[in-house]
Amino acid sequence: MSDDLAHCKAELRRLKAEIRRYEREPDRASGKLLLLVARNALKDLIKHMRGQQANIKNKRSRSTKANQVANAYSQLNQFRKTNKG
């Protein structure tokens, strides 16, 4: 997971630098095409990163729910033990 994050950060920096470079040369026809390609690649990368972020959020949510259930079960057992006698 952290390798993917490091790779995405590096790719993000590279794409932003490329876009800035192509924007400085707006008159070149090939520069316009490369700018369009770089912007599309940036959109795809951001989409990928948001998807990964959503996956992590879902995993954390499930973990929190599991902890809540375990705590409720523990409290219920403690309540039963104290009220037996």
pLDDT digits (tens, 9 = 90+) for 48-58: 999 998 888 88
pLDDT digits (tens, 9 = 90+) for 30-68: 888 999 999 999 999 999 999 998 888 888 888 888 888
Under a CB-based contact definition with an 8 Å cutoff, are residues 48 and 8 in contact? yes
Measured from the Cβ of residue 38, the count of other Cβ atoms closer than 10 Å reads 20
pTM of the model: 0.64
- Output the pLDDT for position 12: 94
What mean pLDDT is reported for the chain?
A: 87
Under a CB-based contact definition with an 8 Å cutoff, are residues 38 and 19 in contact? yes
Domain ranges of the chain: 2-60
Alpha-carbon distance 45 to 22, whole Å? 18
